[in-house]
Structure 1
Amino acid sequence: MPFSNTHNKYKLKFSAEEEFPDLSKHNNHMAKVLTPALYAKLRDKETPSGFTLDDVIQTGVDNPGHPFIMTVGCVAGDEESYEVFKELFDPVIQDRHGGYKPTDKHRTDLNHENLKGGEDLDPKSVLSSPGFGAPGGTWGYLGDTLWHLDYLGSTWGVHGDSWGHLGGAKMSHPMSPRCPQCPPVAVMSPMSPDVPHYAGLSFWGGSGGVPCCPPDVPPTSPGCPRRHNDNKTFLVWVNEEDHLRVISMEKGGNMKEVFRRFCVGLKKIEEIFKKAGHPFMWTEHLGYILTCPSNLGTGLRGGVHVRLQHLSQHPK
């Protein structure tokens, strides 16, 4: 489904010098790399789905960044974006990922048996292990930065049909009421009202001010559901920043079990998608391909919530 990009065709009536954005006050990787010459070279290119350079940099233009935090400032609309606009993405990736060169090959180890330690964090100090989450994109579908409401249904068709095949995971519960129109999948269960925003696992709002978020797709869209298992330790978001976001979490300090659940669940989901003809997007160089360059590779994030009982008593 090509992305309608008539606005870019209109912009090409003007010179590159006229259209080059003022990045003098921006603090992001895109602004460091993009020059007037590079903009002029790439501005008339587009991916097969219609994603252009102006689409790539729009979030970085709209969001100058923080004086002390270097944001990325650019996004991919599809898997081809990283190739068509590689002269911008490659140096951004190299800068953002500590010198990762265009010739480097990504290595991923998601064998939970190779993890050493992690099961002995003090439960008196660890409130919970939000643990591990990873976004994922599937071949054959546009990135979230290209989505419109009429497109979400087809992606949900692939993703939504998968939860009934997860066996023991029982991904039957929608995280409502944020998505009241989600298609029913097995037993419907409302989000607990005493857990605000589902323990912090809520969607970004539909705003152009949020990087990697399509501005015209609200989080209450029927194509933006979330699912969790019975005890809410394994969650999946669909059609938010990326096609999927897989999250494993639990109370206490057993990070090893959190990681095991994550790896097993992610493997099952990927097997289902492969059978449906839509494996996760992956290349030998970039690893798993995702909307934001900061998430390339495994897209894996880990962390814990800790209890600092005496912090308020510290003299500082």
Structure 2
Amino acid sequence: MSKYIKQKQGAEEFPDLSKHNNHMAKVLTKEIYGKLRDKQTPSGYTLDDVIQTGVDNPGHPFIMTVGCVAGDEESYTVFKDLLDPIISDRHGGYKPDDKHKTDLNFENLKGGDDLDPNYVLSSRVRTGRSIKGFTLPPHNSRGERRLIEKLSVEALTSLDGEFKGKSSLSLTTSCLTSPSCSSTFRHNDNKTFLVWVNEEDHLRVISMQQGGNMREVFRRFCVGLTKIEDIFKKHNHGFMWNEHLGYILTCPSNLGTGLRGGVHVKLPKLSTHAKFEEILTRLRLQKRGTGGVDTASVGGVFDISNADRLGSSEVAQVQLVVDGVKLMVEMEKKLEKGEAIDSMIPSQK
């Protein structure tokens, strides 16, 4: 049977995507499937591995999901005929020959330390990182996950100063992604810098604190990331990065910076304004409830963050959040006074 299917170029293996709504389902055709189904990366990751999550999960009622994941750094090259159109679709027309910008110099951020704490309740910046020399979490072996955890714990334990801390838990027997994986969650003593090892990505790095000082949050984020990568490089394991896709991560939606800079901000008046959604779009921002993607606002408090990941730098993306949130808070204050905000609606960023 397998020989027969191979001769037919996989037509009998092509998934039924008729009820699916994700980027993979939009792009994948029988022709692309036939061209790629016999290919694999050096670590053995196949096209069916790439698309399985999107086959199993038809879509989401509120957001357009990606529907595929990489299993290693080479996935983005071997399966580029599928992934390039998905990346373009997900990242606003990003082309196969476009170059990504990386800027982790926090001093290039303008302002960010003056967001009104009466409205901005907390600030956070997070990203993911993949360690060179290992396959990605969807394709990791148990041994790889253990080595990644060992290397990461050694690196994080050596951090000092404001980054000194401890591992708060290990999920060795109850990891979300595999019943036999190793996963560690580590935070500094102030719980303002956190690293999660072996989750969706090798590393998930988070800087956060109460109030509206996004500049301080971003400074800690940039400094901490640089310190961590320097330690990994000493072990000949830097982070996956190239000039086209920026930082390589498991989900194509996070390529580039992988960065999500967000604040919890009170906007009860503005959020009910007829042009609220349009304002967010023009500012290149997105909103969530404070509990995540599928949650609603409570008391007019929203999680506002950057919409972009690929094609612009970390500094540029956080700058959009700082400037956009500052403007929206000013709008909120105007509306509280019963004044119009029509003249404040921004042009498209």
1:31-42 pair list within 5 angstroms: 31-42=25-36
Of 137, 145, 153, 1:144 maps to 137
Give 3-state SS (helix, strand or coil) of 1:267's partner. Answer: helix
Inter-CA distance 247–58: structure 2 relative to 1 (3 Å threshold): same
CA contact (8 A) 1:164 1:170 kept: no
Aligned to 1:74: 68
Return the offset for 1:147: 2.1
* CA deviation string 1:174-223 (max 9, x = no partner): 233xx2669xxxxxxxxxxxxxxxxxxxx9x73xxxxxxx4x346xx5x2
Aligned to 1:114: 108
Structure with the largest fraction of helix: 2
Aligned mates of 2:4, 2:140 — CA distance in 1 = 21
1:65-214 pair list within 5 angstroms: 65-129=59-123, 131-176=124-169, 179=170, 206=176, 214=177
Aligned mates of 1:171, 1:290 — CA distance in 2 = 26
Aligned to 2:213: 254
Give 3-state SS (helix, strand or coil) of 1:173's partner. Answer: strand
Aligned mates of 1:271, 1:75 — CA distance in 2 = 27
CA contact (8 A) 1:125 1:308 kept: yes
CA contact (8 A) 1:94 1:101 kept: yes
Read off the aligned partner of 2:126 and give its amino acid letter: G
CA contact (8 A) 1:237 1:245 kept: yes
Inter-CA distance 50–88: structure 2 relative to 1 (3 Å threshold): same
CA contact (8 A) 1:79 1:281 kept: yes
Q: Is 2:79 the partner of 1:47?
A: no
Unmatched 5+ stretches in structure 2: 270-297, 301-334, 336-349
Aligned to 1:245: 204
TM-score (norm. length: structure 2): 0.73
Give 3-state SS (helix, strand or coil) of 1:175's partner. Answer: strand
Return the offset for 1:122: 1.3
RMSD: 2.5
CA contact (8 A) 1:148 1:217 kept: no
Return the offset for 1:114: 0.7
* CA deviation string 1:144-175 (max 9, x = no partner): 00124343111112111101222214443223
CA contact (8 A) 1:137 1:280 kept: yes
Return the offset for 1:275: 1.0
Of 233, 242, 247, 1:288 maps to 247
